Amino acid sequence: MDLPSYKDSSCCSPSEEGRKSHHSDQVKNSLVSRLNRIEGQVRGIKGMIEKDVYCDDVLNQIASVQSTLNGVGKLLLEHHLKSCVIERIQEGDTEVLTELIITMNKLMK
């Protein structure tokens, strides 16, 4: 599923509740759809455990979920870099780079 152009919407705009992302409906629907599939996969793994499915089969399913979740993270990170980060740097907010490095370190654990 392709994501739309990053110029479709502004990201990380200040609001009364703090910073918020402003994803287009297409981006949001894509991310939610992927997360719904992951949720179903996790429920499937739970069922496998409950049914005493062979450990290697369960571990392979866990690896699949981790890979899919990493894919969601990559898409979100790409969108964040191409919109939020660029926007904040253009506004003179270089603190976003420190924030980004901390976040990327968490993602790479």
Token output for 98? 């420190």
pLDDT interval class at 6 (50, 70, 90): very low
- Can you tell me the mean pLDDT for 76-91? 92
For 35-64, what is each residue's pLDDT tens digit?
A: 999 999 999 999 999 999 999 999 999 999
> Which fold would CATH assign to domain 23-107?
Methane Monooxygenase Hydroxylase; Chain G, domain 1 (1.20.58)
**Would you say residue 10 has pLDDT above 60?**
no
Q: Residue 8 half-sphere exposure, CB side, CA atoms within 13 Å?
A: 14
Spell out the domain ranges in the chain: 23-107
Q: Are 87 and 100 in contact (CB under 8 A)?
A: no
What's this model's pTM, rounded to 2 decimal places? 0.77
